[in-house]
Amino acid sequence: MRFDHRWSEPEVSYHQITFTLEELQAASAATGLDVREFRGACVFESTVGEGHHLDEYTLDPKAVAYLQPLVSAALDRKNAAEDRRNTWCRARHQGWQVLDAAGNPVPEPAYPGEDW
């Protein structure tokens, strides 16, 4: 699943969702909908507070019910990876050495990709 940023406002970002073929086939099998029903799926991501919700105007209600927990989990993983990388980079920029619990240097986290 990939999130392509479309626009942002101060409190919300809007992403178009691109699914892999396997994800589309699983969603189709679980909901009984044709894979074309998932075309144009978009998600609102709140930057204030918690929450991600699918744009319900572009999807069938069955698709929303099936995809909502999957999309929320994927966005949470993306945000956690970005937070880890940003924290590591900020620490290095300030001259700190980042160590793990055993006192070993922590390698730079990979840059978060678009696929989650």
**Containing structural domain, residue 33:** 2-82
Inter-residue contact 37 to 59 (CB < 8 Å): yes
pLDDT band with cut points at 50, 70 and 90 for residue 90: very high
6 inside domain: yes
88 inside domain: no
Q: Write out the H or E segment, with its range, that includes residue 86.
A: helix 61-93
Q: For the chain, how many structural domains are there in total?
A: 1
- Strands 42-46 vs 2-9: parallel, antiparallel or unpaired: unpaired
Residue 112 amino acid letter: P
42 inside domain: yes
pLDDT for the residue 29? 96
Query: pTM for the whole thing?
Result: 0.76
48 inside domain: yes
Which one, of 38, 51, 61, 40, lies nearest residue 11 by Cα? 51
Kindly state the average pLDDT of the residues 76-84: 86
Helix (H) and strand (E) counts for the chain?
2, 4
103 inside domain: no
